[in-house]
Amino acid sequence: MQGQLLGIFITENRSQPMIAHKSAQAVAGRGLEGDRYFLEQGTFSKKIKKSRDITLIEIEAILAVKRDYNIDVQPKDIRRNLLTSGVPLNHFVNRRLFIGSVILEGIDLCEPCGYLSDLLNLPLKEALKHRGGLRCKIISGGLLEIGQPILEFSP
C-alpha cells in the first residue's frame, strides 16, 4: 500500500475555518504546530483525554459523500488535519503508518458528531458514518509536506 498526502489543514481556534498549508511541523505527543489541539484550544481539548494529536481523512470518503448523499463539501470543511489518497484509514486503528519521515499510530476512527453538522449546517453525521477519518498519535515528529508518500509502518 502506498498513498499520498494531498492536503494539510490547521486552525488556531475551535469553530474557525481551517487554513490550507503546504507544510506543517508534526510534534510527537502534541500535534501540528499552530493547530487548535496543539494549542489546547480545540472543541474537545478539555473534554476527552485520548490523543488528539492529528486527524486524517481520505479524499475517497469526501467523494463518496458527494456521490452517495449529494453533499458537496470541501476537504478543509471536514475539519481533519490531513487529506490522504490511496490509504484505507479505517484499517489503521492500532497500527502505524509513515508520512514522509513522520510516524503516526492510529488511535480510533473519527466518527462524525453533531458538532460538525451544526457548524456547517449540513447532514454530515450520517454521510460520514464509518468514513469520517482516523485520529492518530504522533509517535515520531517531523516535517509534513503535500505530496509525501504514505506507507504502512513495518518495524
Contact 100, 144 (CB under 8 A): yes
Domain that holds residue 104: 2-152
145: CATH: 2.40.33.20
C-alpha cell at 59: 479524499
Query: Using one digit for the tens of pLDDT, what is the confidence trace for 46-76?
Result: 555 566 799 999 999 999 999 999 999 999 9
The structural domain count of the chain equals: 1
Query: Using one digit for the tens of pLDDT, what is the confidence trace for 73-129?
Result: 999 999 999 999 999 999 999 999 999 999 999 999 998 877 776 777 788 888 999
Strands (E), the chain: 2-10, 19-21, 23-27, 31-32, 54-58, 82-85, 96-99, 102-109, 134-140, 142-145, 149-152
The residue assigned the cell 485520529 is 135
